[in-house]
Amino acid sequence: MLLLVGLGNPGPKYANNRHNIGFMAVDSIVRRHGFGAWRKRFQGETAEGTLGGERTLALKPQTYMNESGRSVGEALRFYNLTPDDVVVLHDEIDLPPAKVRVKTGGGSAGNNGIRSIDAHIGNDYHRVRLGVGKLEAKGTARVHVLGDFSKADKEWLDPLIEAVADNAALLAARHFVTFQNRVHLALNPEPEKPGKKETE
């Protein structure tokens, strides 16, 4: 079983924040792959479905970002899962917009949602880091991630979310490098090589 977690803050006030890209990605996966309806469980919202033939529980913690680990830990214990069964999608300010990197373990890089999950289940789970861009000035991390995406951001944000949903089955299969590459190619298609001209 896969526990697929999107990080964000609940409520309309935060819905379009950079910090909520994890919620956006999981919402798109649930829609694309025909998961069941959302319902309240584990101090969050959950939806059940399958990805690549594997039973999957999508989870959006409703504890606010800084306490995400409470929700994740509760779901993990209920299903008797291990950290290897957990994939977390979250915003990453150390990556340029639309860049995606997957890593297992490591530090929180200042993300309080990741820090909270580490505290509740350890850090040996998988993170899908979704780039939202560098800070414009030192010390503005909180303002940056709690700011809304702009209309211009939609040019890369919508295709990114779509590509993540299209390739989500690779996350269930733990084919993380392939997932990264497929998302990159979807956003940066290789130019067609010029072929020989057809003759009549």
What's the pTM value of the predicted model, to 2 decimals? 0.90
- The CATH number of whichever domain residue 18 belongs to comes to 3.40.50.1470
> What percentage of residues in the chain have a pLDDT greater than 90?
78
**pLDDT per residue over 160-189, tens digit each?**
999 999 999 999 999 999 999 999 999 988
Q: Which of 19, 33, 90, 144 is catalytic?
A: 19
pLDDT score for 200: 46
The verdict on residue 102 lying in a domain is yes
**pLDDT per residue over 133-154, tens digit each?**
876 655 566 555 667 788 999 9
Spatial strand order of the sheet with 100-104 comes to: 39-41, 44-51, 54-61, 2-6, 86-92, 126-131, 100-104
The verdict on residue 191 lying in a domain is no
The verdict on residue 166 lying in a domain is yes
Residue whose tokens read 């999508």: 58
19 is catalytic: yes
Residue whose tokens read 């399958």: 50
Instruction: Give the domain extent around 19.
Output: 2-181
The verdict on residue 199 lying in a domain is no
